[in-house]
Amino acid sequence: MALDQKREIITLSSYDPIQQNHASRTQKIIKCFCVDIDATKTGELLGYNRKTANRYFWIFRKVVYAQRVKAFQEKIGGEIEVDESYFGAKRKRGFAGKLKRGRWTLKQPVFGLIKRKDENGKVEIYTEIIPNCKAATLRPIIQGKVSLEDSVLYSDWWKGYDGLVDVGLDKHFRVNHGESEFSLGNGIHINGIENFWSFTKRRLNKFNGVKVNFHLHLKECEWRYGKESFELEEELLKMLRNFYRKK
C-alpha cells in the first residue's frame, strides 16, 4: 500500500466527526456539504478555517466512496442502460480535427451503468474509471455487475458493446447516435445514463474540474444524483455513524 493511502486511512480512522464534542460542528458542515457549497465558502459562512472544512469534506467523501463501492458487491438485474463518457478537456498536441468519443485526447474514460427506476422509484448507478473503452475492458465489467440472464440492456452502437448476447445477455437494444437516433420508442434509449453524465460534468465544472481525487468525486456524484439535500443529509449522517461504530 502506498504511503499516501496509509496516511488517508490513519487520518480517517483516528478522527471521529460524530463524537459529542464535534457533533454540532459536523451537523452544520454536513448541511453545507449536502447543498453542494464548497469548502472555502462553507468556512466563510460558518466562521471556520477553510482547512477545517476541507478536512470534514475529505472525510465525508471517503465515507461516501466506501459506501458506494460496497453497494455493488452483488449483481443487479432489470432494465439497465450502459454508456461511457470522458472527463477532462485536453487535446493532444498536433491534432486539429473534431474530437470523437475521447480519441485523440488525454481525457479520462469512465464506464457507467444505471438501473432504471423500480417500483419504489429507486435508481441504481455504478461508475468505474477505465483505461480504455475496448470490448475487452467493458465486457468483464458488465458481466461482473449485471445479471445477464434476467436483464434487458440498452446501449448505443459503440463496438465495445458487441457480442453481449453471445455471452448470455437476455436482450440488448441499441440506439445509433451516429445517425442522430436518441430514442426508438418503447423505452429504447439511454437517456438515464446520459442525464447522469450531464449532471456529473455540470457539477464538476462548478468546481473548475477535478484534478485530484477524481475517483472520490465520481462516486460522490453517484450518491448525489436524483436526491434532495435533506435525503443526502440523512444518508451521510447514517453512513458516518456506521463507519465510526465499526472502527
* Mean pLDDT value across the chain: 84
Domain boundaries along the sequence of the chain: 3-71+227-245, 76-201
pLDDT at 106 (0 to 100): 73
pLDDT tens column, 139-177 = 999 999 999 998 999 999 999 999 998 888 989 999 886
Once rounded to an integer, what is the mean pLDDT over residues 38-67?
94
**Percent of the chain predicted with pLDDT > 90:** 61
Instruction: Write a three-state SS string for 134-158.
Output: CHHHHHHHHHHHEEEEEEEEEEECC
pLDDT at 224 over 70: yes
The reply to whether CATH 3.30.2310 applies to domain 76-201 is no
**Are the C-beta atoms of residues 110 and 128 closer than 8 Å to each other?**
yes
pLDDT tens column, 65-81 = 999 999 888 899 999 99
Q: CA 211 → CA 32, 123, 189, 204, distances in Å? A: 22, 28, 32, 10
pLDDT at 104 (0 to 100): 52
pLDDT at 82 over 90: yes
**Are the C-beta atoms of residues 125 and 112 closer than 8 Å to each other?**
yes
pLDDT at 3 (0 to 100): 39
pLDDT at 22 (0 to 100): 63
104 or 153, which is more confident: 153
Residue 110 half-sphere exposure toward CB, CA atoms < 13 A: 25
pLDDT at 206 over 50: yes
Alpha-carbon gap, residue 104 to 113, rounded angstroms: 24
Once rounded to an integer, what is the mean pLDDT over residues 194-223?
90
pLDDT at 208 (0 to 100): 72
pLDDT at 5 (0 to 100): 41
How would residue 4 be classed by pLDDT, with cut points 50, 70 and 90?
very low
Closest CA to 40 of 49, 50, 29: 50
Alpha-carbon gap, residue 78 to 115, rounded angstroms: 7
What pTM, to 2 d.p., does this model score?
Answer: 0.83
pLDDT at 7 (0 to 100): 42
